[in-house]
Structure 1
Amino acid sequence: MILRKTMFALAGSAALLSLTACSGGSQDNAAGGAITVAASDTACQVSTSSASAGNLTFEVSNKGTKVTEFYLYAEGDRIMGEVENIAPGLTRKLTVEVADAGKYQTACKPGMAGDGIRSDFTVTGGVAKQTDVNTQLAEATKSYAAYVAGQTSALQAETQKFADSVKSGNVADAKNRYATTRIYYERIEPVAEKFGDLDPAIDAREADVEAGQQFTGFHRLEKDLWVTGLQPDSAQIADKLVTDVNDLVTKTQTLQLTGLDLANGAKELLDEVATRKITGEEETFSHTDLWDFQANVDGSKGAIQALRPVLQERDPALVSTLDTEFANVQQLLDATRVGDGYKYYNELSQDQIKQFASAVDALSEPLSKVSEVVAQ
């Protein structure tokens, strides 16, 4: 799921998101120990079904044979936090601020597919969101708001142009616009994923569509453009994509995020690279995976850039490591550039794919530490 350039240059006149910073001043359940999750191919055993509001830390151990994911959902399947790409035998942590009491759900997704193995989870109490306590985190979320507003504004405009090309039957123009439109979405995908079924409607791959579900969004049109040819309902699919993107833009304008959301989102984008882009699974028909790869890296870097003053003060060594590893990944991407774009995935050698995988792993490790620093 996906620019380059200076990270906040596209803020423009779009309305800023209403964002809130998380702070060490909020109640921290992690201080009493993480909530453990034993995930397997058939079970998702959470050590408790309730917790007090504040910073919740889940420690997820994959005891199964399939790669899995873990999610905390609010009402309407709004994603509060997620951790992806948990290979068999590995343990990953997710720290998320939950300030409001209420009913939530935990979910493990063996094979990273479907609705997952779910359990009810109750949050009690309630704590104030620390919008003013930590000035640096407040500024970080404000900066990221400008970034997201710019990306969604550009996504809205470019999606309409892409849809118009599909509807007019101009296949060549639609193909040219496809990858460069998706980059705006891929940069902010963790934000889009917070809105229940909206992300799957816009960005689900054909392999992820379950029986009885309609295949819509970018990847359905990708298949029409590169494989089957435009279909009788391609125009309707294009119109639905525009409607869904417009809905996304509207919802992001009032979304509240925290500093932990930024930290977790930066890591989620690298997980997307590791599980989709460097495997060629994302753009099955067009092979434009490297455009998405670059956008995911840019989006991750954008979140870290917003958090940089906080991270620099609390863990300067981590900032230095992140800078080095981001630069290493970017160097590999730059080596695949062709004109204004990149090589197609099916043009990469196995050595290049291995180099990408190694560089992403090296960046993923320090990124996994950012949420713990932010939660201090």
Structure 2
Amino acid sequence: MRAVRLSVVTAAATAAALTAVTGCTEKSSAEGGDRVITVTATDDACKVSKKRFPAGHIELDIENRGSKVTEVYILFPDDRVVAERENIGPGTKQKVTAEVKAGSYRIACKPGMKGKGIRQDVTATGGSTAARDPRLDRAVAAYRRYVQQQADDTLPRVEAFAKAVEDGDLAAAKKAYATSRIGWERTEPVAESFGDIDPKVDVRADGLEQGQKWTGWHRLEKALWADGKLGTEEKALAGRLVTDLKDWQERVGKAEITPTSMANGAKELLDEVATGKVTGEEERYSHTDLVDFKANVEGAQKAYELLRPVAQKNDAALAKELDRQFAALNTLLDTHRTKGTDAAQYDFVSYDKVGAGDRKELSDAVNALAEPLSKLAAAVAK
């Protein structure tokens, strides 16, 4: 579950909104000063070095001079996320490469990682005249097909889970719960592209906005494992979950997906795993966290593998390191499978049985992968 709450994106808004340029072979932002926007974040300000810049590949050069951990976003006018970087500690710097088309955007800093943030209106001008790299176009198309397949495969699993809930069958619902989430968890690198689906289906109680009704998987998870009952409300919520995920299934074809959003999304997701999910906060009642972890890694790895041909050409050392770190993390995850389980299955030990030392080992392995993954967007934008 990602931290940002997104507004509904209508078909008209999608058409009118500014879309990201897909895979241009122009010079990287680091090589063109007019494409670098310095963002200085403090506890009460978000200063940008320029409010107009050329469309195409851009780079945010971020410094947090405040006392709080912050987040920085490039947003469409309707609050969908173009690019983001979370968990920027006090006194630290980060760089984010993104792709934008001509039009209006907002750059937002969120001191304390709460609320809508401090925002600056900015404008991307003109348009990119560089030729597109067809390999990146193919990567985006292939990733969209992958995401669509995950959504299509998720629906029958969720329908089976919902039927068990509606039948009041606690045992069957518990058994179906974790596998019903795999497709969603695999697509989380681009979850911000689906509008307001995430807060409807994957929010936890402590992530609710003021006045927001708690719906989705985790509300039902609590009913199953903590409350031990399935009443009228829970049965209605199961039906709503199916409806919301059918909406997600329909939105995949219209979602804004670019090479840099694939790369940045994969990195941000692994950061979330390392700093949040690894604590057990995601599946706090069912303790099926390792199923989520594995699906998250698979989704991030799919994004990387599709971008790898361009990354390999532009930065062979980076591609080699990413290959190594993905392999190491997958090997580590395999050590937490139920003994005798086929490696293709998702039978992992209950996360409450994973001790502090093993949790730290998982966090360290995810961080070791996230560090080189943070360079992937810049590598494919060269």
Provide the TM-score with structure 1 as the length reference: 0.88
- Say if 2:82 and 2:98, in contact at 8 Å, map to a contact too: yes
Shift of 1:232: 3.2
In structure 1, the residue matched to 2:360 is 354
Alpha-carbon distance in structure 2 between the residues aligned to 1:40 and 1:145: 37
Moved over 4 A (4+): 26-30
Alpha-carbon distance in structure 1 between the residues aligned to 2:67 and 2:167: 47
- Say if 2:57 and 2:97, in contact at 8 Å, map to a contact too: yes
Alpha-carbon distance in structure 2 between the residues aligned to 1:26 and 1:314: 12
Shift of 1:345: 2.0
Shift of 1:224: 1.3
Shift of 1:254: 2.5
- Say if 1:186 and 1:295, in contact at 8 Å, map to a contact too: yes
In structure 2, the residue matched to 1:108 is 109
Alpha-carbon distance in structure 2 between the residues aligned to 1:140 and 1:219: 32
In structure 2, the residue matched to 1:344 is 350
Given the superposition, is the C-alpha separation of residues 112 and 309 from structure 1 closer, same or farther in structure 2, using an over 3 Å criterion? same
String of CA shifts for 1:241-289, please: whole Å, max 9, x gaps. 2121111111111234221122112212212212322121211221211
- Say if 2:63 and 2:91, in contact at 8 Å, map to a contact too: yes
String of CA shifts for 1:139-175, please: whole Å, max 9, x gaps. 2222212211211111222222222221221111111
Alpha-carbon distance in structure 2 between the residues aligned to 1:258 and 1:134: 12
Shift of 1:129: 8.6
Q: Which moved more, 1:175-184 or 1:194-203?
A: 194-203
In structure 2, the residue matched to 1:6 is none
Alpha-carbon distance in structure 2 between the residues aligned to 1:30 and 1:76: 30
Alpha-carbon distance in structure 2 between the residues aligned to 1:29 and 1:358: 29
In structure 1, the residue matched to 2:189 is 190
In structure 1, the residue matched to 2:51 is 49
Given the superposition, is the C-alpha separation of residues 109 and 343 from structure 1 closer, same or farther in structure 2, using an over 3 Å criterion? farther
- Say if 1:19 and 1:142, in contact at 8 Å, map to a contact too: no
- Say if 1:70 and 1:84, in contact at 8 Å, map to a contact too: yes
Alpha-carbon distance in structure 2 between the residues aligned to 1:64 and 1:177: 45
In structure 2, the residue matched to 1:135 is 134
- Say if 2:28 and 2:381, in contact at 8 Å, map to a contact too: no
Query: What secondary structure, in the 3-state scheme, does the structure 1 residue paired with 2:194 have?
Result: coil
Shift of 1:58: 0.9
Gaps of 5+ in 1: 3-17
In structure 1, the residue matched to 2:10 is none
Given the superposition, is the C-alpha separation of residues 125 and 317 from structure 1 closer, same or farther in structure 2, using an over 3 Å criterion? same
Query: What secondary structure, in the 3-state scheme, does the structure 2 residue paired with 1:342 have?
Result: coil
Alignment of 1:242-321 (within 5 A): 242-321=242-321
- Say if 1:265 and 1:303, in contact at 8 Å, map to a contact too: no
In structure 1, the residue matched to 2:76 is 74
Shift of 1:42: 3.4
Given the superposition, is the C-alpha separation of residues 97 and 176 from structure 1 closer, same or farther in structure 2, using an over 3 Å criterion? same
In structure 2, the residue matched to 1:91 is 93
- Say if 2:75 and 2:105, in contact at 8 Å, map to a contact too: yes
- Say if 1:107 and 1:116, in contact at 8 Å, map to a contact too: yes
In structure 2, the residue matched to 1:11 is none
- Say if 1:272 and 1:296, in contact at 8 Å, map to a contact too: no
Query: What secondary structure, in the 3-state scheme, does the structure 1 residue paired with 2:254 have?
Result: coil
Query: What secondary structure, in the 3-state scheme, does the structure 2 residue paired with 1:60 have?
Result: strand
Query: What secondary structure, in the 3-state scheme, does the structure 1 residue paired with 2:83 have?
Result: strand
Given the superposition, is the C-alpha separation of residues 368 and 324 from structure 1 closer, same or farther in structure 2, using an over 3 Å criterion? same
Shift of 1:19: 10
Gaps of 5+ in 2: 3-18
Instruction: Report the AA paired with residue 174 of structure 2.
Output: K
String of CA shifts for 1:120-144, please: whole Å, max 9, x gaps. 22222233695xx312212222221
String of CA shifts for 1:38-85, please: whole Å, max 9, x gaps. 223333223333322111211222233433222211132221111122
Instruction: Report the AA paired with residue 122 of structure 1.
Output: T
Alpha-carbon distance in structure 2 between the residues aligned to 1:344 and 1:105: 42
- Say if 1:50 and 1:122, in contact at 8 Å, map to a contact too: yes
In structure 2, the residue matched to 1:370 is 376
Alpha-carbon distance in structure 2 between the residues aligned to 1:199 and 1:207: 14
Name the structure, 1 or 2, with higher relative contact order (CA <8 Å, separation 6+).
1
Identity value in percent: 45
RMSD: 2.3
